[in-house]
């Protein structure tokens, strides 16, 4: 089945850019998502990208997709303390099912 990998932890200073990386195995993936989980809450969709796109920008968020390397990244510009959360990469594959990565905990230091 699909395998989705993320690094566990990222620490940045307030105002810096954060880059969260994700790799996946299924080359037939159609849509790729980033979800955010704040403490004590469920997951909320942050952004997504179609598999035929290389980049998507949405305000402070930039998603980059390298299909050849099966690599997805989320860049958060001007990171704020309110961005501290767990970020999950999710890949939509066969049967429209989502496979989630292990999550990256982003800590933003003031």
Partner 1 sequence: DVKVTQSSRYLVKRTGEKVFLECVQDMDHENMFWYRQDPGLGLRLIYFSYDVKMKEKGDIPEGYSVSREKKERFSLILESASTNQTSMYLCASRPRLAGLYEQYFGPGTRLTVT
Applying CB under 8 A, the residues found at the interface with partner 1 are: 1, 4, 6, 8, 30-31, 35, 40-45, 48, 50, 88, 90, 96-98, 100-103
* Nearest approach, Cβ of residue 60 and partner 1 (Å): 20
- Cα-Cα-Cα-Cα torsion 100, 3, 23, 86, nearest 10 degrees, comes to 30
* Nearest approach, Cβ of residue 41 and partner 1 (Å): 6
According to DSSP, the residues that pair with 45 across neighbouring strands are 35
* Nearest approach, Cβ of residue 96 and partner 1 (Å): 7
Residue 14 or 105: the one with the smaller Cβ distance to partner 1 is: 105
How far is it, in rounded angstroms, from Cα 106 to Cα 99? 20
Residue 30 or 57: the one with the smaller Cβ distance to partner 1 is: 30
Is 68 in a helix, a strand, or coil? coil
Do residues 10 and 18 make contact, with C-beta atoms less than 8 angstroms apart?
yes
* Nearest approach, Cβ of residue 101 and partner 1 (Å): 5
The residue assigned the tokens 């200073």 is: 13
């Amino acid at each position: 089945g699909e395998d989705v990998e993320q690094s566990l932890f990222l620490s940045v200073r307030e105002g810096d850019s954060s880059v969260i990386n994700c790799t996946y195995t299924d080359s037939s993936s159609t849509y790729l998502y980033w979800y955010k989980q704040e403490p004590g809450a469920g997951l909320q969709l942050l952004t997504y990208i179609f598999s035929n796109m290389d980049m998507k920008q949405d305000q402070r968020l930039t998603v980059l997709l390298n299909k050849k390397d099966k690599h997805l990244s989320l860049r958060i510009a001007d990171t704020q303390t309110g961005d501290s959360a767990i970020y999950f990469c999710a890949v939509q594959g066969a049967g429209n099912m989502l496979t989630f990565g292990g999550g990256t905990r982003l800590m933003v230091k003031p």
